[in-house]
Amino acid sequence: MIAGKIFYRGEFVEAGIEVENGRIKKIGKLVESKRVKGVILPAGIDVHVHLRDFAEKRKETIETGTLSALHGGICLVVDQPNTKPPVDNTKTYFQRMEKAEKSAYVDYSLNLALTNSNHEKLGEIIRKISKKYFIPAVGEVFIQHDSEDLQINYETLQKVYGRFEGVVFTVHAEDPAYVAKGTPNFVFRRREAEVLAVEKLVEIGNFHFCHISTRDSAKEIINSNSTFEVTPHHMLLSVDDYGRLGKLINVNPPLREKEDVEWLFRNFHRIDILASDHAPHTLEDKEMGASGFPGVETMYPLFINLALKGYISFKSLVEKIASNPARIFGFKGYGEIEVGNFANFAVFDFKNVTEIRAEDLHSKCGWTPFEGFEAIFPEKVYLRGREVLENGVKAGNVLKHSVNIM
């Protein structure tokens, strides 16, 4: 199918890839295939996106969000359920998955919300949904949230966690005692909120922690049996960007001081997953203090450039953006380039370093916190062996189906 310099089992090798029925059949130097310009890496998995839609479709939709993912070299997204209305019941879950089947440009998967309204009947809801769809996780579970129904206390989470062996729970770890509203939101005691929540939660059980942003909480998780993700903005931006970003600055958890940012970036090899926490808001919403950054399209390109410059290794990047997400969340057939896996590839030309411009991106929100940053966007993207993006031009609504791993 394709040949060239492939990232295979931790290193770049010259080889061809033979594909059959959307999966990799053979990898080797003797496999005759069409040679591509650039290097072939596994397409990424973004396990943390908020694609809005429903009542917030003016900010983003499944269609525009997955189009952004495609242009960022992502083959699979995991959407979060704190939508309006939240995805905390069978009817709403099916409704959203059916919407994705009609409009998604990449594989789409959806977490189930844990709310104060549904926690007593969570098992029944999971059983009904699982007959048709694969649920990657319950979460992100909010220890702190503006909605009383979405804010889950430690006791409730402990009780629910104990009932579901084998279910992945993803947690937004901020203790409500230290969270206050305001702009910019990093001036409040939000650092303590994360550290305290993580300390309490690792005593309760093994969770996957969303968007960890401080070195203290990261160290706590590393010394436990839990896993965690870190976003590009918590490794590349800090409170010092306030002068540049102004009212765009708010994000949950907030940007941190440089000491935390630099520690997380230096320890990139120790994190489990790189995830965007793509949370788009319109510029008008940001002016009013809304928290969240878009990022699904820029995540992989930013870190390809950083790997090319030697700040991180390609081996580590592939682990964080492909291998580990597939392993931790149980996405069979995804991850690294390997025989038996889906033929999901992103081809990058290392000579094509560009500056990120919001006007070139595909999110409906129309802005980015990484304006002017250097990145390398994919030249081609293949999903299940089919070329769906070439020179930045998509080949229509390419998959129109949702992830359904039984």
Across-strand partners of 8? Answer: 11
Cα gap 218→68, rounded to integer Å: 29
H helical segments located in 246-329: 258-266, 283-287, 299-308, 314-318, 324-329
Q: Name the token pair of 306.
A: 């950083």
- Residue 281 to residues 77, 368, 369: CA-CA distances in angstroms? 18, 10, 12
Place of tokens 């789409």: 108
The number of C-alpha atoms within 13 Å of 302 and in the hemisphere containing its C-beta is 23
Q: Is 277 a catalytic residue?
A: yes
3-state SS assignment for residue 153: coil
CB contact at 8 A, 235 and 268: yes
Strands (E), 214-315: 227-230, 273-274
Cα gap 250→190, rounded to integer Å: 12
Q: Name the token pair of 141.
A: 């579970």
b/e map of 93-122 (b: 16 or more CB within 10 Å)?
beebbebbeebbbbbbbbbbbbbeebbeeb
- Quick one: which of 381, 342, 401, 403 has its CA closest to 104? 401
Active-site option among 240, 277, 285, 349 = 277
- Quick one: which of 133, 50, 48, 56 has its CA closest to 95? 133
- Quick one: which of 202, 111, 216 has its CA closest to 158? 202
The packing angle between helices 190-204 and 154-161, to 10°, is: 30
Question: Which amino acid, one-letter code, is at 6?
Answer: I
Residue 38 backbone class (left: φ over 0; alpha: ψ -120 to 50; beta: rest): left
Cα gap 83→52, rounded to integer Å: 6
Active site residues: 277
